[in-house]
Amino acid sequence: MPEGHTLRRLALDLTAAFAGEPVRVGSPQGRFAAEAADLDGEVLVAAESAGKHLFLAFPGERFVHIHLGLIGAFDILPLAAGEEAPAPRGAVRLRLVGRRAVADLRGATQCALIGAERRDAVLAGLGADPLRPDADPDRAWERIRTSKRSIGELLMDQAIVAGVGNVYRAEVLFRQRLDPFRPGTSLRKGQWQAIWDDLVELMADGVRVNRIDTVRPEHTPEAMGREARVDDHGGEVYVYRRTGQPCFVCGAAVRTEPMASRNLFWCPRCQRRWRLRAVR
């Protein structure tokens, strides 16, 4: 269940494990069998990520375009020298086997063999990616400052900001003390810049530790003498999935409400309603 940091981590790990040498490409499940047969035995040039998209580059401007969706996973298993790859478990749509590792793709919403044109079209449709040094946050700002949609929705729009998902959305708005319901038109440039700078830092950190950690040093379990968070996500967060629990900063109960068909989480006190503050 990936946000942009997961895909960048995956691209780095896949490149390290397979790039530069021929790979066996297969589709044990069968749904990618014809394409896999075309690529089987070819050299994997590199794996790259953009937003939540992943591209496996093969010679001749051919790319495997992968999107994990909500439940997809691409697992990399190291192989000892001469070790056989294990039998596939479950519905493996795509399997890569190299000398040093085997990687299995399951549950992805997208797995297709495409050309450079299609790849460029996907890239062109993506907004500013905080993980890319060449990202253009000013272009995202133009979209945001002229939109009546809420900042909580805008951050999830991949055509505006690429790679941010439900966890980073909730956490960055908490860290910036911004009401998720504020329309884009109500934000000031400096507030957007602060969101962007924070995302750049948080997501780069997410790639390093392969986890979403957003809690500042002064609010860690050790610093506050509180229980560490224990769940399948692992990372320490302020509001994500903490409905009803006390905010680490002010003690108010964390709230949740659907926004853009996803559960939004926020602290009603730290992220005070912008309308109330704007009263003349």
Partner DNA sequence: GCGCCATGTATAG
Partner DNA sequence: TATACCTGGCGCA
Residues that bind DNA (CB under 7 A): 1-3, 6, 31, 51-52, 67, 69-73, 75, 90-91, 93, 106-107, 109-110, 156, 158, 165-167, 212, 231-234, 241, 261-263
Is residue 148 part of the annotated active site? The answer reads no
DSSP state of 254: P
Candidate list 52, 106, 119, 182, residue with the active-site label: 52
Least CB distance to DNA at residue 179 (A): 19
Query: Residue 268: in which H helix or E strand, if any?
Result: none
Neighbours of 197 (CB within 10 A): 13
Q: Smaller CB distance to DNA: residue 60 or 261? A: 261
Report CA-CA distances (Å) from 30 to 35, 51, 106, 109, 144.
10, 27, 12, 15, 43
Q: Do residues 31 and 194 touch, judged by C-beta distance below 8 A? A: no
Least CB distance to DNA at residue 189 (A): 26
Is residue 3 part of the annotated active site? The answer reads yes
Q: Smaller CB distance to DNA: residue 43 or 149? A: 149
Q: Smaller CB distance to DNA: residue 233 or 269? A: 233
Candidate list 100, 132, 255, 262, residue with the active-site label: 262
Q: Are strands 62-67 and 110-115 parallel, antiparallel or unpaired?
A: antiparallel
Nearest CA to 108 out of 207, 208, 10 is that of: 10
Least CB distance to DNA at residue 162 (A): 8
Q: Are strands 101-106 and 92-97 parallel, antiparallel or unpaired?
A: antiparallel
In the chain, what are the helix, strand and coil shares in percent, each to the nearest 5?
A: 30, 20, 45
Least CB distance to DNA at residue 153 (A): 11
Is residue 84 part of the annotated active site? The answer reads no
Q: Smaller CB distance to DNA: residue 73 or 249? A: 73
Is residue 2 part of the annotated active site? The answer reads yes
Catalytic residues, by residue number, are: 2-3, 52, 262
